[in-house]
Structures are given as structure tokens and as C-alpha cells.
Amino acid sequence: MADRSADWLTLLRAPGVGPATCRKLLERFGEPSSVLQASRPQLEAAGLKAAAIDWLRQPDPRRLEADQVWLAAPDHHLIALGDPDYPALLADIPDPPPLLFVVGDPSLLTRPQLAIVGSRNPSAGGARNAKDFARHLAAADIVITSGLAVGIDAAAHAGALEGGGTIAVGGTGPDRIYPAANRELAHRIAARGALVTEFPPGTGVRKEHFPRRNRIISGLSLGTLVVEAAARSGSLITARTAIEQGREVFAIPGSIHNPLSRGCHALIRQGAKLVETAQDVIEELGALLGTLQADGDNAAADMPGEAVLRGLDPEYARLLDCLGHDPVAADALMRCSGLSADVVSSMLLMLELEGYVDALPGGRYSRSAKASDF
């Protein structure tokens, strides 16, 4: 790739040459080098504008030198469409990116992947679900792919790093981390996973780039799991893209009173697979994944649930029994349990710290996913 990288970068940097135009040029001329050697009339006949042709005839050497400096750094890689290590699933989508800029381990891109996406402002339970599912699926040798956004994306990446590998697909150049709040997480992913983008170095934040990023997240993956999503959200765009690409879509159901459950419920009504445990996902993907490691067979057994809760003090168990999955006020819990306000407050705090209870706005509480089987 080293000998061809300059040709690829020259083509990618040409004004107005996006993924679709680039593919058309490659279909017409073969290799990037052949595009660069083509005459102006040939390039005009291929539909290129004057600005693009001018660039191909005389590219800015400073810009291309900066790209080569980035590529020469340790663990920086450039993978072109058609290369043996270009991920096959991504190559199969209608609009695969011509180039992938990778920071970290490029071999992860060719391993079985599951995308996990969801709200940027999830509930505590939703974030915990994303992290738990990601950890157990990664331990089953499934790479977790997401978009490095705050919320569900970040929780999924963090959980995957605890169990195995993860890929973060960015909407900026490989030298830009967005959002800045996830900079430390991005560094951890680069060290133990992979950061991937189709945008060249120096590309900043642009709103229109993130929907383009979503097709790569779903395109790399066998399926997409939506953890929490409002009725209108970027996560649903990713899910729709996955459906268009012929991939599986999974959704975790939630309370009918939680607005972040509406997107998942809509997907389930439209045919997405309802899943409650990591094992549900593994079983659905089994035919596509082939033989999984033994850890995958035990993923659901490792999820916290009734066995742990049975060890609770009887008073804690009684209070938890008064909680449903819909929000409940503290005074209702006092009436149900027969315990005093001080005792209920103290016990709720302990249950929240242990992950059995989610504290909600307005002084209300609900069971967490950890307590769902109790």
C-alpha cells in the first residue's frame, strides 16, 4: 500500500470527488494511478469538474506531504477498497468508502462485529445495559463497533474494552477526536482496538459527516443493537441503514413511560429482534458467526440477575419487590414496604450504589436491568 498511498490520497483529496465519484473513476480506469495518468478529455468524459481535474494535474504537495507524515506514524494505516485486508462486509454495501484511515489494530476490521448504538443522553440503566452487553459480547470474541459519541456509544466502547476488542468509527479526520469529552476513551481504543474513519487528516467536525459515518458502523457489522433511542434519533438512522444493507437489527425493550424506549419499540414493531440478554444476540447471530468461543455460550449466565439478588437482606428484597420497571415515588415505596422514610431512603441509596435501582428525575425510582429477573 505504501507505493500506492500517494495516488490514493491524491484522488481522495480532489475537489468534488466523493465515494460515489471515486468508485465510478475506478470502474472506468482501474487503478488510482490510471486516473492520474488520464487525459483532461478522458476525465471530462468521466464527469469530473474543472477544479477536480486541475487538482489531479497539479495537486498541492504540502497537503499530500502532511498526509504521508500522518501515515508514517506508528499504528497508522491506510486501507483501500479492493485491498485484501479491506473488510468484506463493508465492501458489500452499496456505497463503501474508498479509503479507511485506521489508528490501532486494523485486523479487528475483518473480525465478526456487532454495532451498539443509542442515545447520547441515556438513562443510568440504558448506559449500564450497553456496557454489560458489550463486555459479554466482546468476551465471546465479537468486536463491538460504535461511533464514539457520548452516552450509549461510550458505554459500549468501555464495556468492550473490559471484555475484548472495539472499533470506534469517527466522523472527522483520524487526527481529530470528537467529542473532546471522549478523548481519553479514544486513546484507550487506539491502544487496544481501532479508530476508523473515511475522512482524511485535518477534516474537522461537520454535521453532514455523521450520517455518512453511520453507514460504516452498520456496514462493518453483522448486526446493530439499539439500546435506547428516542422516536427521532441518529441511532434509528443507523438501524435503518443496517436494514437497507441486509443486516440484522436488535433492540432492547424498555418501559412504556420512558421516551428513550420509543425508538426501540418502534424498531421491534417493524421487525427488529427483541433481545433481553447478550446470549439472545449470540443465538440470533449464531449462523453468521459460526463457532463461537466457549465464553460466548456462558455470556447470559454471567449477567447479573436473580441468583445474586437472592442473597439480599430480606428487607432489601422486600423493598425491591415493591419496585417495578415503571417509575415509583419514594412515598409509594414506604406504603408498600411498611418501612420508614429514613430507612427507605438509606436502602434506596444502597440499592442504587449496588446497581439494582435507577434514580430518576422527580424523586422517583425504578428497577435496573440488573434486577430485572428478581
Residue 137: the pLDDT is 95
* End-to-end Cα, the chain, rounded Å: 55
CA dihedral angle for residue 174, residue 175, residue 179, residue 181, rounded to 10 degrees: 130
Question: C-alpha grid cell for residue 128?
Answer: 449500564
For 306-371, CATH number out of 1.20.120.1200, 3.40.50.800, 1.10.10.10, 1.20.1260.10 equals 1.10.10.10
Please enumerate in sequence order all residues whose Cβ is within 8 A of that of 354, keeping only pairs 6 or more positions apart, or say none: none
Residue 305: the pLDDT is 35
How would DSSP label each residue in 142-204? -EEEE---TTHHHHHHHHHHHHS-EEEE-SS-TT--SSGGGHHHHHHHHHHSEEEESSPTT--
Q: How many C-beta atoms surround the C-beta of residue 237 within 10 A? A: 17
Tell me how far apart the alpha carbons of residues 261 and 343 are, in angstroms, rounded to a whole number: 32
Most confident residue range from 55-64, 186-195, 255-264 = 186-195
Task: Calculate mean pLDDT across residues 226-231.
Answer: 93
- Asked whether the predicted pLDDT for residue 146 surpasses 50, the reply is yes
Task: Calculate mean pLDDT across residues 89-93.
Answer: 94
Residue 301: the pLDDT is 37
- Asked whether the predicted pLDDT for residue 308 surpasses 50, the reply is no
- Asked whether the predicted pLDDT for residue 299 surpasses 50, the reply is no
Position 42 confidence tier, pLDDT thresholds 50, 70, 90: very high
Whether 292 contacts 286, CB under 8 Å: yes
- Asked whether the predicted pLDDT for residue 114 surpasses 80, the reply is yes
- Asked whether the predicted pLDDT for residue 23 surpasses 90, the reply is no
Position 362 confidence tier, pLDDT thresholds 50, 70, 90: confident
**Helix orientation angle between 2-13 and 50-57, rounded to the nearest 10 degrees:** 150
Q: What is the pLDDT of residues 175-195, one digit of tens each?
A: 999 999 999 999 999 999 999
Task: Calculate mean pLDDT across residues 58-68.
Answer: 91
CA 167 from chain center: how many Å? 8
For 106-301, CATH number out of 3.40.50.450, 1.10.620.20, 3.40.50.720, 2.60.40.10 equals 3.40.50.450
